[in-house]
């Protein structure tokens, strides 16, 4: 067995054994093996078929994934200077390979030969889809361009990859660097006891002593502080630090954003598109820039008046009950929580005792069992941190369908937010079925004060969301690598299973399965449960326009912004805020400098996907409302038509097969409590 754990052909990554010094040798070796293996598949003059070419090609390329996926994951969850150095050294190598692969004329010719062969129409639908997507990606890689243009594209993509990595590092480093040490107990007035205890434990752990409290910009610290702290000056200090992350000194992302936007626009034009938004839509359900704009602005029109009404109500409450004559951005969470408590007679802290970690997980797994007839059991594997847990999903006959690691708690040197990442894909490898595996990552508060980890309901929703992504990846029955699980699924359909699964975190029937007190095991009182469910619509229009602000900010920066024109990126952002937001945005707000989704992730010109997929998700759940949220026949239909199909067919075809018709926007508007009548005409929802 090779001493390098990244090169061992073990079933799952040996996370605990991977060291920074293993990374470059493994990546370089596998890249060399990949190049050699592909050339061996292309003997001159021989005919190729799917079985003789694509199947072994998939096995060769999955080898690269088995090396890089754990490295990329560790860089996100246990980041260190040494690991980052090795990770960054490999980025140019991988980008160079992706460019080489995408512009490889021999590969393209072989795939095109399969697509134009007499046998192609007889191939299974998943195989035809995989070939079609391969040809599309070759075109988007520039395989058809002249050599000089190809070289410029390679240079652009190298620069973009490095800029994106630096953007992410600046956000992580600026988040980690900031701290607030509180020495006066009265400055924590209103903050829940569990958060106070955790802040004190953090201060002690970091050497500040036991007479103070440490507050950070990590979500388990920042969110409750901005929500409950009665000290307005501290709320402002926290808010300003949060929305100005990566704006100062060596962590400033301002110039990086400008460079990313400039290079993306050039990349699009080299490939024959007018802007990067057009290039981005080439891989999505929606193919028209105007359709995306129409969709987003239609939702703005439907929701903004209601959002203004909600904000005016919140402002009146803040003035009359809280003494806040002018509601500022750093007051909104605090005032909203107070109004919610006043209206529904509970707070987020009141429900936390009913959401202990293990009970929530048990309920989550019971819902999966009732919907899909699957069982989830904890098992053992090699971990990257002692807090990580590992589970297997099994069919009724005991067959393993998928496996996942669960990393729930926030900690230093871990990227903020929540996400699902792929470890292994379902495919036939060396003649045997490879079982898919995933990482599910959140940033919740760990156990403290002798209590188990207790989740807010918002965190329960987040966990259900990421688990929905996990089910999409893990439950696929497609064996072809390029359309297995989430592979091949257009980005604006990726969020359908995740947002769909959130509904079971809101339903009284499902909540009653697991909402039990961590000490007494008593179920959540029916009145509290009812108030929690009713609160789903609280300030829902404000939440809607906030997401529309982000979606339009992203899309217009990639569709309308001209780096060489008179208008700055900030001008675009300010215009979007003027058109969407009702909460005053302070001039120092530079949220875009930490907008990881579009500058450090895969959502560039695609953040609208959250709302697009939310329409599909709300409409899909409407069928469960009609037929029963635990109706096993309906659950099996969603499993077989959506989750198991992966990217093997167009998502609109799969949706219509499940729903029996095209999607409607009305279920989303009902779900959000926005009651304006639906306008007639095409708003971009079902573009042709």
For the record, the structure tokens of 209 come out as 């002593």
Sort 52 into a burial class: Cβ within 10 Å, 0-12 / 13-18 / 19+: middle
What digits encode the pLDDT tens for the residues 237-274?
Answer: 999 999 999 999 999 999 999 999 999 999 999 999 99
C-alpha–C-alpha distance, residues 682 and 240, integer Å: 41
Read out DSSP for 113-140? HHHTSTTGGGS-HHHHHHHHHHHHHHHH
Read out DSSP for 588-653? T--GGGG-HHHHTSS-TTTTTHHHHHHHHHHHHHHHHHHH-TT-HHHHHHHIIIIITTTTSS-HHH
- Radius of gyration over every alpha carbon of the chain, rounded to an integer in angstroms: 25
pLDDT at 680 over 50: no
CATH 1.20.1050.40, domain 15-144, yes or no: yes
Q: What percent of the chain has pLDDT over 90?
A: 93
Give the H/E segment covering residue 215.
strand 213-215
For the record, the structure tokens of 595 come out as 């907008």
pLDDT at 1 (0 to 100)? 52
pLDDT at 431 (0 to 100)? 82
C-alpha–C-alpha distance, residues 258 and 557, integer Å: 10
What digits encode the pLDDT tens for the residues 607-651?
Answer: 999 999 999 999 999 999 999 999 999 999 999 999 999 999 999
Question: Which of 473, 482, 491, 426 is CA-nearest to residue 134?
Answer: 482
Catalytic residue among 86, 466, 622, 644: 466
Q: How confident is the model at residue 430 (pLDDT cuts 50, 70, 90)?
A: confident
Q: 517: Cβ–Cβ under 8 A, 6 or more apart, which residues? A: 353, 354, 523, 524
Q: 539-570 b/e with 16+ CB inside 10 Å = b?
A: bbbbebbbbbbbbbbbbbbbbebebeeeeebe
The pair phi, psi for residue 663, each rounded to 5°, is -70, 155
Name the residue with higher pLDDT: 589 or 10. Answer: 589
C-alpha–C-alpha distance, residues 465 and 76, integer Å: 19
Cα 208 to Cα 177, 205, 450: the distances in Å are 15, 8, 21
pTM above 0.85, yes or no: yes
pLDDT at 678 over 50: no
- Give the number of other CB atoms < 10 A from CB of residue 272: 12
Give the residue extent of every domain in the chain. 15-144, 178-244
CB 131 within 8 A of CB 54: yes
| Gap between the terminal Cα atoms of the chain | 54
For the record, the structure tokens of 169 come out as 């590092």
Please say if 466 is a catalytic residue. yes
Q: 617-638 b/e with 16+ CB inside 10 Å = b?
A: bbbbbbbbeeeebbeeebbebb
What digits encode the pLDDT tens for the residues 278-335?
Answer: 999 999 999 999 999 999 999 999 999 999 999 999 999 999 999 999 999 999 999 9
| Mode of pairing for the β-strands spanning 400-409 and 437-444 | parallel
Average pLDDT over residues 674-681: 43
C-alpha–C-alpha distance, residues 265 and 275, integer Å: 5
pLDDT at 289 (0 to 100)? 98
């Amino acid at each position: 067995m090779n001493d390098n754990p990244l090169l061992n052909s073990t079933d799952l990554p040996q996370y605990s054994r991977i060291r920074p010094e293993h990374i470059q040798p493994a990546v370089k070796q596998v890249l060399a093996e990949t190049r050699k293996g592909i050339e061996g598949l292309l003997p001159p003059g021989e005919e190729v078929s799917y079985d003789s070419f694509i199947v072994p090609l998939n096995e060769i390329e999955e080898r690269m994934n088995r090396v890089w996926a754990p490295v990329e994951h560790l860089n996100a969850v246990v980041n260190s200077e040494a690991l980052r150095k090795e990770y960054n050294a490999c980025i140019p190598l991988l980008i160079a390979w992706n460019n080489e692969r995408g512009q490889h004329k021999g590969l393209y010719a072989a795939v095109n030969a399969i697509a134009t062969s007499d046998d192609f129409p007889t191939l299974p639908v998943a195989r035809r889809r995989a070939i079609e997507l391969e040809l599309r990606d070759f075109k988007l890689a520039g395989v058809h361009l002249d050599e000089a243009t190809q070289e410029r594209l390679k240079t652009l993509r190298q620069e973009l990859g490095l800029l994106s990595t630096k953007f992410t590092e600046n956000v992580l480093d600026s988040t980690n660097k900031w701290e607030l040490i509180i020495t006066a107990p009265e400055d924590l007035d209103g903050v829940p006891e569990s958060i106070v205890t955790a802040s004190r434990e953090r201060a002690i752990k970091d050497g500040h002593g036991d007479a103070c409290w440490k507050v950070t910009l990590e979500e388990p610290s920042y969110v409750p502080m901005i929500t409950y702290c009665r000290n307005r000056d501290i709320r402002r200090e926290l808010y300003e630090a949060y929305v100005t992350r990566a704006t100062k000194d060596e962590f400033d992302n301002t110039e990086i954003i400008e460079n990313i936007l400039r290079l993306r626009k050039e990349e699009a034009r080299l490939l024959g598109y007018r802007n990067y938004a057009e290039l981005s839509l080439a891989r999505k359900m929606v193919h028209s820039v105007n359709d995306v704009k129409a969709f987003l602005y239609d939702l703005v029109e439907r929701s903004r008046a209601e959002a203004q009404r909600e904000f005016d109500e919140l402002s009146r409450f803040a003035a009359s009950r809280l003494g806040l004559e002018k509601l500022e951005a750093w007051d909104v969470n605090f005032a909203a929580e107070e109004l919610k408590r006043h209206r529904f007679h509970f707070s987020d802290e009141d429900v936390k005792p009913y959401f202990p970690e293990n009970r929530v997980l048990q309920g989550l797994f019971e819902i999966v069992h009732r919907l899909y007839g699957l069982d989830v059991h904890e098992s053992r594997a090699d971990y990257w941190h002692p807090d990580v847990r590992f589970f297997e999903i099994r069919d009724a006959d005991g067959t393993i369908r998928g496996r996942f690691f669960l990393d729930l708690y926030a900690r230093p040197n871990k990227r903020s937010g929540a996400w699902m990442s792929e470890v292994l894909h379902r495919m036939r490898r060396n003649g045997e079925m490879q079982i898919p595996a995933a990482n599910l990552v959140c940033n919740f508060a760990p156990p403290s004060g002798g209590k188990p980890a207790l989740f807010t309901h918002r965190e329960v929703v987040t966990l259900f969301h990421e688990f929905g992504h996990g089910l999409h990846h893990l439950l696929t029955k497609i064996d072809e690598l390029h359309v297995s699980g989430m592979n091949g699924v257009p980005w604006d359909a990726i969020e359908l299973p995740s947002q769909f699964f959130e509904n079971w975190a809101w339903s009284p029937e499902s909540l009653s399965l697991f909402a039990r007190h961590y000490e007494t095991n008593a179920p959540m009182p029916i009145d509290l449960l009812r108030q929690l469910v009713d609160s789903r619509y609280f300030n829902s229009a404000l939440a809607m326009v906030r997401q529309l602000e982000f979606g339009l900010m992203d899309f217009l920066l990639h569709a309308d912004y001209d780096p060489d024109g008179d208008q700055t990126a900030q001008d675009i952002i300010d215009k979007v805020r003027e058109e969407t937001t009702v909460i005053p945005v302070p001039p120092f707000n530079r949220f875009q400098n930490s907008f990881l989704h579009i500058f450090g992730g895969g959502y560039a010109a695609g953040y609208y996907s959250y709302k697009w997929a939310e329409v599909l998700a709300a409409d899909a759940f409407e069928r469960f409302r009609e037929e029963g949220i635990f109706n096993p026949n309906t659950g099996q239909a969603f499993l077989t038509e959506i989750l198991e199909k992966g990217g093997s067919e167009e998502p609109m075809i799969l949706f219509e097969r499940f729903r029996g018709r095209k999607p409607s926007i009305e279920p989303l508007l009902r779900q959000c409590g926005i009651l304006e009548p639906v306008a007639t005409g095409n708003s971009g929802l079902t573009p042709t």
